[in-house]
Structure 1
Amino acid sequence: MTSLITVVQPPATPNTTYTPFLTYLHLHQAELQMAQQENHRLNLELQEAKGRQEEQGAQAQRLKDKVAQMKDTLGQAQQRVAELEPLREQLRGAQELAASSQQKAALLGEELASAAGARDRTMAELHRSRLEVAGVNGRLAELSLHLKEEKSQWSKERAGLLQSVEAEKDKILKLSAEILRLEKAVQEEKTQNQVFKTELAREKDSSLVQLSESKRELTELRSALRVLQKEKEQLQEEKQELLEYMRKLEARLEKVADEKWSEGAATEDEEAAAGLSCPAALTDSEDESPEDMRRPPYGLCERGDSGSSPAGPRETSTLVVISQPAPIAPQLSGCAEDSSSDSEAEDEKSVLMAAVQSGGEEANLLLPELGSAFYDMASTIFRGAQIALHPLSPAPFPSPTTRSRGEGRGKRDFII
């Protein structure tokens, strides 16, 4: 607001009486000009203050709007935190499932210890599944720890934000930017949690598939083991039956050998008596001991000389005689003899001898489980029995081709 002041001009003629008045007038004019300038400056400052006041009012309104927006954001964040609780429950359930799967894997490891044939492969698969379960447990622990850290950090930041809103309203823009950053981080964490859940489900499915494969292989191994055990028991029973039959056959052959030996001894005694009646045909060396008339013992594994023939009565002492043979199965106590049916035993012996004499073909058909071992033993027994029954006749020997066929079939059929 300006005031107009009229200044009275003094007369043109100078006068000494008006000099102080003029001086005062000039001073007053200068003060008026300074007052006008100050008034103008104050008016400008007042206008600027009004503009700043309006701007501050608008800024305060914006701050109020941003505070309301931040409150809404905080409510949404709290809602998101409440939504994270089911995820934690799901993580706990996944941990329990992982623990149960680990226990099942341990039980499977104890059961797989009995399967010797496939132990290495199943143990490797079980170790790999345990490592995968341990990795899943480690990931779950890391996720839960990271979630707790994020929650504590978020609570701290929330308290800081509330204090900043109450104390310093000029930092609301920076805090809003920080909240936006946190929202983005929470969104990224949700995305990562979703990815981790997908990976966990995939790994869980793969572990379940591996466990089912391990169970299936274990079942197959158990069934194969049962079959092998049954076959082994059956072979043991057949072996016991064959050994029993061999003991019976050995006892019968020993009995026949004893009879033939007694007959041979009687014949030698008769020949010795005939030789004593003719002393001119005897030498001094032949009269030293009557035991020289006896034949030397003959083992079951020796062969008779088919090309030699007796040259005289005294040369019969060099013929092979079956002595008491050693038992074929000394580890079995007792020799069971079947004396109830002699005719049936003779039939069985004749059938077996005929089978051995025919080259081992029929023996292998009758006893496919023993193969070459039984063929060699039966051939030796048959040769000894034939030499004992017919000392002068050549003992038949199987051809190499027949023997090789018998040994091949025996190796293929005989399993202990």
Structure 2
Amino acid sequence: MAMATEVTQEAPAVPSVWRNRHFLLFFSAQTISFVGDMMLPVALTVAMLSAGFGASEVGLVLAAHIAPMVVLMLVGGVLADRFQARRMMIVADLVRLVAIGLMAVDVAGGRPSLWLLIATQAVTGAATALYQPGVAGMVPAVAPGHLKEANAALRIGISIGAALGPMGAGIVVGFAAPATAIALDAVSFAVSAVCLSVIRLVAVPTPRRENLWQGMRHGWYEFRSRTWLWPVIGVFALLGLTLYGPFQVLAATVLTDRDGASGYGLMMSLFGTGAAAGGLVAMRMRPRFPLRTGILALLGYLPVPFLVGQGAPPVLLAPAFVAAGAGASVWAVMWATTVQTQIPADVLNRIYAYDQTGSLILQPVGRALAGPAAGLVGTGAVLATSSVFLLAGCAALLAIPAFRRLPAGPP
């Protein structure tokens, strides 16, 4: 089958993204399924603890989706480029609907099977590997001419999902049962699949025909030939090990032990608030050099690990978490828009798969090593080192001319 690039039937005249039916359907699919994703860890943790499982079993189940997702992400990118991103995303949503539905039924019985939970999590991880690479290619298809605004809007949706998902799970678990919250996650994938299927796209065939291996080789060539691209993936893989992985574990431990679950939840909500604000700001920005602007904005994240590790009071942490969320959101918008405007459409999903794989591949290692490292040198030292690595990573990228001088692409 020839590869195809999809575009909306309304192109080239596209209104604001908030008045674009195709984009609104895609935005709804992304946001609703993300809310469901954020509900699952809370509901699944409560269900397993209530059934007598310990923290190690909970951690094993929650992590079971990561390995297949990382291993299959590059394959998902090739398939999305070859068979059209929307088609692969719908298939992935339907697979996740069935897998999470089975999980809900198993949990509803009150004695969930550990191996079934692990298996369903692994299946959802594999399906996510088929789904996620297509996101990059879908944005230009549903919002041509408004890529930055579309990416900013999607970041706002993710921020909303990050805030509403855990909160909604807590409410549902409190008033109903964990199985109900898990079932709602399954329903979110059904809604996402419907939204994606309603989007009307026309396929524009391209002449290249490749098998899976050839497609991966072609994607690798496109990836390594861009000196502004692969250093970013390398730096963020390292930050997954030294910053994001350890911070996820140690921040939750430090803040929960000191301020309780509500205190930790408040900081996460403030981060989400900052991320939403950052998305709104990024929507209006017109930087000449977007990667330079984005990486400087990401430095807003710098104080947070250090302050958490030093036991800073909430009055200092609150504005720091808001600034971190805003900076991370601006960077994400500038990065996504740059990739979508600088990479040829026929390899865009593969390049995005490299991006996702690099971001995820070392995070589990960082999470696993966080506790032992904190035991050896102290939590404060580990998190201070995380801040140093972020500063060094940003400085290294700014030192690369191809990165800092890359001009903005077409809107």
- TM-score, normalised with respect to structure 2: 0.19
Please identify the structure whose Cα radius of gyration is greater. Answer: 1
Structure with bigger RCO (C-alpha 8 Å, 6+ apart): 2
